[in-house]
Amino acid sequence: MNENIQTELKWLGNKEYAARLRKYFKTGKGEYGEGDRFLGIQVPVLRKIAKKYRKISIGEASELVKSQFHEERLFSLLVLVDLFKRANDKDKKKIYTVYLSNTKFINNWDLVDASAGHIVGAYLLTRDKKPIYVLARSKNIWERRISIVSTSYFIKYNRFVDTLNIAEMLLGDEEDLIHKAVGWMLREIGKRDFELEERFLGKYYKSMPRTMLRYAIEKFPEEKRKSYLKGEF
């Protein structure tokens, strides 16, 4: 089955678009996506193919998460997300375990963002949150991003404590992609509890990375946004 999937994906690839994706996802030496390879498939097309193969097994889907090609890894994650939504408790645990066993292959921001909340966050919603705190302390940028993005699922249920705790842990992170993710999650909290986000910002906005702050206050009224950026609160 996987050979058929890979053959179809390679047939859909476009070399010119692949070259554009290599630049977009920073695959040059020393960049965050160094060495990644692309087939050149647009995401809507990839989602359509993932839907076509939504009945493959967890094992078949998880094999492709180790692929050398970015789109095959994304395909795998999209299928696993769909399988998770329809799975019983036993299979949910299996998918969650497979996911956390393969984080070294979930190695770019789009791969994390398309899957972490839907699998890790969804699985841990009513369980011990210790795993995401472990990830937040990881030396691996993508595991740290998985940690904070996973909490997007908690936010949907108005559970904000873990997002704020992990955001606090990541305030001193050196990576811009972590700053963006934390700011994004703070912004999502603000959509549901504006006062809570402001209390957090009131404590940390002067010390948090500028990118994190910009993302967090993106939806604020213009004057209030300017005041935060000027440090006038």
CB neighbourhood size of 123 (10 A)? 21
Place of tokens 């934390």: 182
Q: 1-108: which CATH topology?
A: Leucine-rich Repeat Variant (1.25.10)
Cα distance between residue 79 and residue 92, in whole Å:
13
pLDDT at 230: 86
pLDDT at 2 over 90: no
pLDDT at 233: 64
pLDDT at 196: 98
The tens digit of pLDDT for each residue in 163-222 reads 999 999 999 999 999 999 999 999 999 999 999 999 999 999 999 999 999 999 999 999
Looking at the chain, which residues constitute the CATH 1.25.10.90 domain(s)? 1-108, 115-233
State pTM to two decimals: 0.96
The tens digit of pLDDT for each residue in 97-132 reads 999 999 999 999 999 999 999 999 999 999 999 999
Which top CATH class is 115-233? mainly alpha
CB-count exposure of residue 96 (10 Å: 0-12, 13-18, 19+): buried
The tens digit of pLDDT for each residue in 7-41 reads 999 999 999 999 999 999 999 999 999 999 999 99
Length of the chain: 233
Among left, alpha and beta (phi > 0; psi -120 to 50; other), residue 30 is left
